[in-house]
Amino acid sequence: MERLLVEPFYVMKVLERAKELEKRGEKVIHLEIGEPDLPVPNKVKERALELLKSLELKYTESVGIYPLREAISSYYEREYGVKVEPERVIITPGSSPGLLALLKVAFEFLGEVSYSDPGYPCYKNMVKFLNIKGRALKVFPENQFKVEAKDLKTPVLIVNSPSNPTGSLYSKKELSKLAEKAFLISDEIYHGITYGQRATSVLEVSENCAVVNGFSKFFLMTGWRLGFLIVPKEFVPQITAVLQNIVISPPTLSQFAALACFEEETLRELKENIKVFKERRDLLLKGLKEIGFKVPVEPQGAFYVFADASKFTDDSFSFAFEVLEKAKVAITPGKDFGSNGTEKFVRFSFCTSKRNIEEALERLYSYLR
Ligand SMILES: Cc1ncc(COP(=O)(O)O)c(C=O)c1O
């Protein structure tokens, strides 16, 4: 079989080339990767070290340990004022396999799934991999790249707010309108990382919905592979059975250590990080505009700027490689996020220090101007 079952991430090609350049001794500045550079909370690391001495790392229940399901349930109550029974919270090894299981189950219960273009690539790729019916909905800068209820024709919609790659945030009213028309799968992985108003959880506006979330972004724990779902009661047995088969259980050490995430001190520290992200965002936005990029939607959350590079190119895929070769700055081509006008766009991630961002901007300025 020659053709891949799903499309790869094009950015991986950028990363591969960046690594080759680095091997040759070049200093590449990485603005392509969506992985927070800030350190994992201390309490989590301390807890993990203690646990390693005392805990036998055996499988846990497929749906995860009850104390963590409870901690997530009360976190959602504190943050959003919603009540969800811990039995509806399912822990997964990162949010990605949770989303995969949920998509299949939601499709079997309800039918065709829509997602936005541009949008997070895994939605389209997972739909394709599962061989379920899916529909890309074109979204445009004029509406901040958000899906509008009038365009929604399927019983299920994936929403991602704050969004990757655009940083757009759906208001409570917008989410309510969408929830009136479809079952929402709300990818809330960037919740907690917002630069003004907080993000609304879909659970605040509808009963008829599911949440995908995890510990990789706000909690900074990418490599700990921990995520969770909050689903309607009738989905639980189906999703549990799928997870029993495909993952057996989420990582034991990560689950116990993650309990420390919900302690006051850790949450306070994590909330402080938002100031750091905000400063980087402001710096990057200002610099990119000075160079000549257009930013039709300033990110209200997450850690990306989706910039229109049409002043410099009409092929942002080649442009990403050109910028890497000439300015030694790695960025993500728009093509990764869909096909609706994405050849004009590139995504800059601000998961790196202000110093690196400044240097990247200087390099881009001298190359492009
Ligand atoms: C929108 C979105 N959803 C989900 C994920 C997956 O995260 P993880 O599997 O690490 O929880 C990512 C990662 O970049 C993302 O950007």
What span, in angstroms and rounded, lies between the C-alpha atoms of 36 and 224?
13
- pLDDT value, residue 322: 97
Helices 316-327 and 354-368, packing angle to 10 deg: 100
Reported as a single tens digit per residue, the pLDDT across 287-343 is: 999 999 999 999 999 999 999 999 999 999 999 999 999 999 999 999 999 999 999
Shortest-distance Cα residue to atom 13 of ligand 1: 34
For the chain, the average pLDDT equals 97
Domain ranges of the chain: 11-40+266-368, 42-262
Letter string b/e over residues 212-229, b meaning 16 or more CB atoms within 10 A of that residue's CB: bbbbbbbbbbbebbbbbb
Residue having the nearest C-alpha atom to atom 16 of ligand 1: 164
Pocket test for ligand 1, best of 12, 15, 95 (most atoms within 8 A of CB): 95
Pocket-forming residues, ligand 1, beta carbon under 6 Å:
34, 94-96, 120, 160, 164, 187, 189, 214, 216, 222, 227
- For 162-199, the pLDDT digits (tens) are 999 999 999 999 999 999 999 999 999 999 999 999 99
Residue 281: per-residue pLDDT: 98
Contact 345, 118 (CB under 8 A): yes
What CATH number matches the domain at 42-262, 3.30.43.10, 3.40.50.300, 3.40.640.10, 1.10.1240.10? 3.40.640.10
Residue 369's pLDDT band (cuts 50, 70, 90): confident
CA 97 to ligand 1: nearest atom: 9
Q: In CATH, which of 3.90.1150.10, 2.60.120.560, 3.30.310.50, 1.20.1050.10 is domain 11-40+266-368?
A: 3.90.1150.10
Residue 207: Cβ-neighbour burial (10 angstroms; 0-12, 13-18, 19+)? exposed
Q: Residue 4 C-alpha to ligand 1 middle, in angstroms?
A: 21
**The pLDDT of residue 2:** 79
Q: Record the pTM.
A: 0.97
What is the maximum span of the chain, computed from C-alpha positions, in angstroms? 59
201 DSSP 8-state letter: P
**Ligand 1 centre from 257 Cα, in Å?**
20
Domains 11-40+266-368 and 42-262 share a fold: no
Which token pair is 29?
């500045």
pLDDT (mean) for 25-47: 96
Q: Ligand 1 pocket check: which of 32, 90, 96, 124 to mutate, most ligand atoms within 8 Å of Cβ?
A: 96
Whole-number Å distance between alpha carbons of 92 and 144:
31
User: How far does residue 24's CA lie from ligand 1's centre (Å)?
Assistant: 31
